[in-house]
Structure 1
């Protein structure tokens, strides 16, 4: 049986290297099976780890939810499916993503009267996340994004009840690194999640 990795790959712990927030504990099993053209047995064990450039509160909440969903057997590697909804205004062409509509609804609710004054910081962060050309997401604590609680790449649905606000940098980096970690894992494979300090 191949030796299971219990620490991140060596290059991620080298001096000056960026800490990896997601890696596959049993990556060797899936890499070997992919090269041999076979299907590995058992779930993929995804390990999450907080990075110094993440908003810790948001990372902890995301990791806790993914651990719970994995324990409930709800995490499966799938191809992400994003819903495209038509504009309510027939004069506007095209469609909009669920996350865009969710953000716009929040901005409308928070931007009214007394709400705006008490939520100015949140409204500004939501606007910055909306306009990527003028305000690119380059670090934590600047913008807010709608986040899929149950990741789309792990079998989640693109619906409003699966969305909540999260730091944009933390959200995007976790999603990107989970995708990289699961690269050799075939679709339909169950995933369980562990978190290390």
Structure 2
């Protein structure tokens, strides 16, 4: 099948893209705010994220260390809300990891029958662990982070959602572009 240009709405091997003006496309465009840049004319604001006993400690520490590092580099700022995002980036993230696990431990396994059975069981445990986690934007989108696969890590779902909510509540009344500093509260 020949590839058609943008006018035809298809790329080689891809499904048809919705035409411009599609109601869904229009709703998505209206739903997200235009991105903003860090405004160094605004005063820097320190936001506090509280560590809770319900948080997965390793995930929380990793996330906060990354945000603190970005904060120290002067990269964090309040992004306009709602943040524009491509849900296919996070949506396919877990699926790709699960496929890699399957290919490594099940599909390409050339061991004995006993070893294959062991590897299948281990693969199922790993896949379930992936299913129970959320793709997390390490550099929060709401703090100016990129919506890219390279910015994603798997994280405990409850910890991820709570950190995001804490940050959102702290920055919601700040002007867009406000420089942000992160502080962890125990």
1:165 to 137, 150, 154: 154
Higher helix share: 2
Which residue is 1:44 aligned to? 45
* Unaligned 5+ runs, structure 1: 1-39, 85-96, 128-142
CA 1:73/1:148 → structure 2, altered by over 3 Å: closer, same or farther?
same
Please list, as runs of the form range in 1=range in 2, the aligned pairs for 1:1-197 lying within 5 A after superposition.
41-79=42-80, 80-84=83-87, 97-112=88-103, 113=106, 116-127=120-131, 143-197=132-186
Whether the aligned pair in 1 keeps the contact of 2:42 and 2:179 (CA below 8 Å) is: no
TM (norm. structure 1) is 0.62
* TM-fit CA distance, 1:181: 1.2
5+ unaligned residues in a row in structure 2: which ranges? 1-40, 110-118
Runs of 4+ in 1 over 4 A off after TM superposition: none
Shift of 1:41: 4.2
Take 1:61 and 1:196, find their aligned partners in 2: how far apart are those partners? Answer: 15
**Higher Cα Rg, which structure:** 2
TM-score, length basis structure 2? 0.65
Q: Whose RCO is larger (CA < 8 A, sep 6+)? A: 2
